[in-house]
Chains A and B, each alone.
Chain A
Amino acid sequence: MRKNKTMTPVLSVTNLTKTYPAFQLKNVSFTLEPGKIMGFIGRNGAGKTTTIKSMLNLVHPDSGTMQFFGLDMPAREFEIKQRIAFIFGAANYYAQSKIKTITGVYRRFYHQWDERLYQTFLQRFALDPEKKIKQLSQGMSIKYALALALSHHAELLILDEPTSGLDPVSRDELLTIFENLVDQEGVSIFFSTHITSDLDKSADVITYIKEGEIFASQDKDRFVASYRLVEGCCADLPVELRARITGYHERRGEFSGLLRVEDAPLFATLRITPADLETIMVYTERRPA
């Protein structure tokens, strides 16, 4: 895609702050450009869901601004919600109702509802409209939530843990759908997950939230390339270098840890390998034993 500096971001969050008795979201800021997949990562309790709920006006932030397509949230909430779709895990509502009943209600709310597209998703996901929600497995229920979300031509998908509970084949299937939506229809995706391997494959940008603060928000490849995993014998590790290692872990005379790429030459005698998102997250979050 041609780079256009003046393109309006599909989502921009600025200095979002929310204080709870035991938790604080501090100055959360990030921007999602059109046609990109942003992976939103962080451990449980880091503030992912609170951030998403604030974005959707379900939670009232103490301060900060949110814009979708250049429109202010919540002032333009009504209009914005027509153009976005969200999935909070599985379809865990109206367990006693049939798929066709829920869809019959849901579709009325969207001007751009595409019944043909919806039917193709039902077929592709092998969903029977006569089934009740309670008869669906976790995976099928997620697929139903997706079929609803994907059938009104949303320009931005906000997904909270969309793949947890799915088998590897279904996950791959889903990621392919996401990639096609982005590549062929120019949809943007905000993808919150702790299954970082999904993002290794598909994300363009990573926003990493840690203890309520944005730890990093940048191009995924650049983010991943700025770290290295170092491993070796404890005896081979010079004492003065240990302080440069993040998430240092030692067992049976062997150690491992995370390095900034610029520090890697200092460790040339040890085994240095590229890090992936999971490694970066695990070592960054690891507390000293």
Chain B
Amino acid sequence: MNNLLYKEFKLSLHPTAWLFLPLAAMLLIPSYPYYVAFFYQTLGIFFIFLNGNTTNDLFFTTLLPIRKVDAVKARFITVMILELLQIFIAVPFALLRARINPGPNLAGMDANPALFGLVFVMFALFNIVFLPAFYKTGYKTGAPYILSSVVMFLFVAAAEAVIQLTPAIRQALDTLNPAYLPQQMAVLLGGILAYGLITLAAYRASARRFERLDL
């Protein structure tokens, strides 16, 4: 597996994946829908798959002495590394934003633990929609990406609607007030749990589909 991960980072990764990581700094913008800073990384991941079609990545990989499912597993680990990096890099910017500008975000959720919980769910939805749809064919990237973007957008819109329109929830989650940290941490933990479970389901579905595929 280490060899396959080495291959992923040496040959498969598209440079944009790295370029999007610093976009975590968008959390410093006073009022902004912060989900966008994370959404960019799904674009970086999409480019890995798109680029893979150009470089014959799957062809090279499946001919190596590996099991077919190992190729899927290595790609999943790569995707998760990028998503988690995107989140980790954003944390200091969220803290910095709270310190230098403690005012509320007028364009959506404040950059607090609950936001990160929702971002975990957003990434989980990307993983479950985009990845199994790609591994169904081994080459189609466009339609799965559009579909996953729509699902992510609907989730964010729904989450924001519920939070902003329900005063009690809004008071607890859309704030930098440390008094509500326990509630926000609960959302974060729930998001991490959902991310783990949904991504595992996405892996299982992708591996099963890819195994069945005639290349």
Contact partners of B62 in chain A: CB under 8 A:
58
Are A109 and B65 in touch, CB under 8 angstroms? yes
Q: Does A59 contact B (CB under 8 A)?
A: yes
Contact partners of A77 in chain B: CB under 8 A:
67
Chain B residues touching A, range: 20 to 34
Complex Cα distance A102/B7, Å?
9
Contact partners of B57 in chain A: CB under 8 A:
93-94
Contact partners of B99 in chain A: CB under 8 A:
none
CB distance from A166 to the nearest CB of B (A): 20
Q: Does A124 contact B (CB under 8 A)?
A: no
Contact with A along B38-70 (1 / 0, CB 8 A): 000000000000000011110110111111100
Contact partners of A102 in chain B: CB under 8 A:
11
Given contacts A53-B215, A93-B55, A96-B55, contact A78 B67 (CB under 8 A): yes
Q: Does A14 contact B (CB under 8 A)?
A: no
Complex Cα distance A77/B64, Å?
11
Q: Does A97 contact B (CB under 8 A)?
A: yes
Within 8 A of B (CB), among A103-134: 104-106, 108-110
Contact partners of A177 in chain B: CB under 8 A:
none
Contact partners of A63 in chain B: CB under 8 A:
none
Are B55 and A94 in touch, CB under 8 angstroms? yes
Q: Does A82 contact B (CB under 8 A)?
A: yes
State the interface size on chain A (CB cutoff 8 A).
26
Are B214 and A58 in touch, CB under 8 angstroms? yes
Complex Cα distance A232/B212, Å?
55
Q: Does A8 contact B (CB under 8 A)?
A: no
Complex Cα distance A102/B62, Å?
15
Contact partners of A60 in chain B: CB under 8 A:
212, 214
Are B63 and A86 in touch, CB under 8 angstroms? yes
Contact partners of B215 in chain A: CB under 8 A:
53, 58-59
Contact partners of B67 in chain A: CB under 8 A:
77-78
CB distance from B63 to the nearest CB of A (A): 6
Q: Does B3 contact A (CB under 8 A)?
A: yes
CB distance from B184 to the nearest CB of A (A): 43
CB distance from B21 to the nearest CB of A (A): 21
Q: Does B88 contact A (CB under 8 A)?
A: no
Q: Does B180 contact A (CB under 8 A)?
A: no
A56 closest partner in B (C-beta): B63
Are B214 and A105 in touch, CB under 8 angstroms? no
Are B55 and A105 in touch, CB under 8 angstroms? no
Contact partners of B65 in chain A: CB under 8 A:
78, 81-82, 109-110
Q: Does B18 contact A (CB under 8 A)?
A: no
CB distance from A117 to the nearest CB of B (A): 18
Complex Cα distance A57/B71, Å?
14
Are A81 and B64 in touch, CB under 8 angstroms? yes
CB distance from A281 to the nearest CB of B (A): 27
Contact partners of A88 in chain B: CB under 8 A:
59, 63
Complex Cα distance A108/B6, Å?
9
Q: Does A273 contact B (CB under 8 A)?
A: no
A101 is contacted by which of B3, B10, B54, B214 (Cβ under 8 Å)?
A: B10
Contact partners of A195 in chain B: CB under 8 A:
none
Are B214 and A93 in touch, CB under 8 angstroms? no
Given contacts A59-B214, A93-B56, contact A109 B10 (CB under 8 A): no
A105 is contacted by which of B10, B66, B212 (Cβ under 8 Å)?
A: B10
Are A92 and B56 in touch, CB under 8 angstroms? yes
Q: Does A270 contact B (CB under 8 A)?
A: no
Complex Cα distance A51/B195, Å?
41
Q: Does A225 contact B (CB under 8 A)?
A: no
Complex Cα distance A56/B214, Å?
11
CB distance from B76 to the nearest CB of A (A): 19
A111 closest partner in B (C-beta): B65
Within 8 A of A (CB), among B104-148: none
A81 closest partner in B (C-beta): B65
Complex Cα distance A90/B173, Å?
57
Within 8 A of A (CB), among B174-215: 212, 214-215
- A101-B10, A102-B11 are known contacts; what are 7 more A-B pairs with Cβ within 8 Å? A93-B55, A94-B55, A94-B56, A95-B54, A97-B11, A97-B55, A109-B64
A-B contacts, 29 of them at CB < 8 A, read: A53-B214, A56-B63, A57-B68, A58-B62, A59-B214, A60-B212, A78-B66, A81-B65, A88-B59, A88-B63, A93-B56, A93-B57, A93-B59, A94-B11, A94-B55, A94-B56, A94-B57, A94-B60, A95-B55, A96-B55, A97-B11, A97-B55, A101-B11, A102-B11, A105-B6, A105-B10, A106-B64, A109-B66, A110-B65
